[in-house]
Amino acid sequence: MKIRVLLSWISCPLFVSLALAQDSKFRPNNQQIPVPDCLSLKGLLDSSYKPCAADDHQLWLKDITHWRDERRIRIGYNGSRYEIPELLWTQSSFIQPQMMVQDRFFFDPIAGKYTVDRYLDDLQKRYGGVDAVLIWPTYPNLGIDDRNQIDMIHCMPGGVIGVRQMIADFHKRRVRVLFPMMMWDQGTRDPGRPWPEAIASLMAEIGADGVNGDTQDGVPLVFSLAADKVGHPLAFEPEGGPSDEALAWNVMTWGQYQYPFTPLVDRYKWLEPRHMVNISDRWNRSKTNDLQFAFFNGIGWESWENIWGIWNGVTPRDAEATRRVATLERAIAEYLVSRDWEPMYPMLRYGVFASRWPLNDSTVWTIVNRNEYDVEGPQMEVPAVPAMHYFDLYGGSELQIRKYLGGKSVLSFAIESNGFGAVLATNSERDAKMQKLMSAMKQMTVKPLASFSSQHEVLKQKIVPIAATRTGSSAPASMIQIPEGDFLFRVSGVEIEGSNDIGVDVQYPWEDAPRRFHEHPMHIKSFYIDKYPVTNVEFKQFLDATRYHPNDDLNFLRDWKDGTFPAGWDHRPVTWVSIEDARAYATWVGKRLPHEWEWQYAAQGTDGRIYPWGNQWDAAAVAEPDKNRTMRGPDPVDAHSNGASPFGVMDLVGNMWQWTDEFLDEHTRVAILRGGSYYQPQGSIWYFPQAYKLTEHGKLLMMAPSIDRSGAIGFRLVQDAH
Whether the pLDDT of residue 230 is over 80: the answer is yes
Q: What is the 3-state secondary structure (H, E, C) of 516-542?
A: CEEEEEEEECCEEEECCCCEHHHHHHH
Distance between first and last Cα of the chain: 100
Q: State the Cα angle at 535 between 530 and 539, rounded to 5°.
A: 105
Tens digits of residue pLDDT in 656-709? 999 999 999 999 999 999 999 999 999 999 999 999 999 999 999 999 999 999
Each domain of the chain, given as residue ranges in start order, spans 462-720
On whether the CB atoms of residues 612 and 643 are closer than 8 A, the answer is yes
Nearest to 102 by CA among 85, 114, 84: 114
Whether the pLDDT of residue 108 is over 50: the answer is yes
How many CA atoms lie within 13 Å of 434's alpha carbon, on the beta-carbon side? 22
Q: Which of 26-30, 341-345, 404-408, 517-521 has the lowest mean pLDDT?
A: 404-408
Q: What is the pTM of this model?
A: 0.94
On whether the CB atoms of residues 535 and 638 are closer than 8 A, the answer is no
Using pLDDT thresholds of 50, 70 and 90, give the confidence band for residue 598.
Answer: very high
Report the residue count for the chain: 722
Percent of the chain exceeding pLDDT 90 equals 90
Whether the pLDDT of residue 487 is over 50: the answer is yes
Residues 685 and 706: their CA atoms lie apart, in Å, by 25
Tens digits of residue pLDDT in 426-467? 988 778 889 999 999 999 999 999 999 999 999 999 999 999
Residues 411 and 573: their CA atoms lie apart, in Å, by 75
**What secondary structure letter does DSSP report for 223?**
H
Give Cβ neighbours of residue 512 (< 8 Å, ≥ 6 apart): none
Tens digits of residue pLDDT in 396-434? 999 998 877 677 899 999 999 999 999 999 988 778 889
Tens digits of residue pLDDT in 334-355? 999 999 999 999 999 999 999 9
Using pLDDT thresholds of 50, 70 and 90, give the confidence band for residue 48.
Answer: low
Written as one string, the DSSP assignment of 651-677 is --SSS-EEEEEEEE-SS-EEEEEES--
Percent of the chain exceeding pLDDT 70 equals 95
Strand pairing class (113-114; 132-136): unpaired
Residues 378 and 401: their CA atoms lie apart, in Å, by 10
Whether the pLDDT of residue 7 is over 60: the answer is no
pLDDT of residue 50: 72
CATH for 462-720, among 3.40.50.12240, 3.40.50.620, 3.40.50.720, 3.90.1580.10?
3.90.1580.10
Tens digits of residue pLDDT in 114-129? 999 999 999 999 999 9
How many CA atoms lie within 13 Å of 149's alpha carbon, on the beta-carbon side? 26
Residues 233 and 219: their CA atoms lie apart, in Å, by 14
Task: Give SS3 for 607.
Answer: coil
**3-class SS shares of the chain: helix, strand, coil, % to 5:** 30, 20, 50
Nearest to 593 by CA among 669, 664, 534, 638: 534
pLDDT of residue 43: 63
Using pLDDT thresholds of 50, 70 and 90, give the confidence band for residue 95.
Answer: very high
- Please compute the mean of the pLDDT values over residues 78-106 and round it to a whole number: 98
Alpha helices (H) along 364-454: 432-444
**More confident site: 385 or 679:** 679
Mean pLDDT across the chain, nearest whole number? Answer: 94
Tens digits of residue pLDDT in 268-311? 999 999 999 999 999 999 999 999 999 999 999 999 999 999 99
